[in-house]
Amino acid sequence: MTDVVIEVGKRPIRQIHEEIQAAANQGKSILITKTGSRHNLGVGLPPGCRLHFEGSVGYYCGGLNTGAIINIDRNAGWGCGEAQSDGHITIGGYAGMSVGAAMLGGTIHVKGDTGPRAGVAMKGGNIVVEGKIGYQSGFMAHGGKIIALGGAGASCADALWQGEVWITGDIEDLGVDAIITEPTAEQVAEVDAILDPLGLKDTSRDWRRIIAGQRLWYFESRDAKAWLMI
C-alpha cells in the first residue's frame, strides 16, 4: 500500500529529495512517478523506508542507502546503490555502469544485465544479477559477493582482492590475477541462502567461484608485469 505519491517531472531534484525525506522520516511508503530517468533520486534514505520508482531512473539512484527498500520498475543509470551500507534495491531491467560501486552491505538485485564494472571497489554486501555482468565487473572488490546467473563479460574480476564473483554461464575471459576455484558445498549453501529469498535458488547450477590469485596482494619487483597489466 502506498501512503505518498511524489511526481518528478521537471521539478528541481532538491525539492523532490526534501519531499521524499520528509515522507521517509514519517515511516510512509512512497511511490515516485514520472521519473523521466532523472539523476540523484532516492539518495541517502533512512532504514525502513520503502520507495517504488515507476519507470527508469538516471545516475546514482539509491546512493548512500542506509537501509531502505527500493524498487525500480525498469532501468537504472550509472552508480545505482553506490556506497550502500544496508537495505535492498531491486532493478527491474538493465543496470548501468558501476552498479553497487563501493557498497558496504545490503543486497542489490538486477533482473536484467549490467554495464561494466558492476561492484567496483565493493567492500561488502551482495549483488545478484539474473542476466550477464559487463566488462571488468568485480574490479578491485575488497569484499562481498557478485552472483551472475547469465555469464560475464571480458576481464571479469580484474584485480580482485577479497571479494568473490560467482558465475553460471559463459565467461568471456578473466581479468588480471583472477582464478576460478571449485566451491565447497558450504560455500554453495551460502550463495543459495542469498538467492532463495529472491526466488532464484536452483541446486542444479554449475557454479564457478572466482577469487584473487593473490599475485597483486604484495608488490614483487620480479613480478611487476602483473601490476602493469591492471
Q: Where are the alpha helices (DSSP H) in the chain?
A: 13-25, 185-195, 224-228
42 phi and psi angles, rounded to 5 deg? 65, 40
Contact 146, 133 (CB under 8 A): yes
Q: Which three cell numbers stand for residue 142?
A: 575488497
Taking only the tens of pLDDT, the chain with its 230 residues reads: 678 999 999 999 999 999 999 999 999 999 999 999 999 999 999 999 999 999 999 999 999 999 999 999 999 999 999 999 999 999 999 999 999 999 999 999 999 999 999 999 999 999 999 999 999 999 999 999 999 999 999 999 999 999 999 999 999 999 999 999 999 999 999 999 999 999 999 999 999 999 999 988 776 656 666 655 65
d(CA 72, CA 200): 19
Report whether 60 contacts 34 (CB < 8 A): no
> Class of 4-228 per CATH?
mainly beta
Model confidence pLDDT, tens digit, residues 84-97: 999 999 999 999 99
The candidate with the shortest Cα–Cα distance to 120, out of 176, 73, 160, is 160
- The pTM score is 0.95
What are the beta bridge partners of residue 49?
Answer: none
* Beta strands 164-167; 66-72: pairing state: unpaired
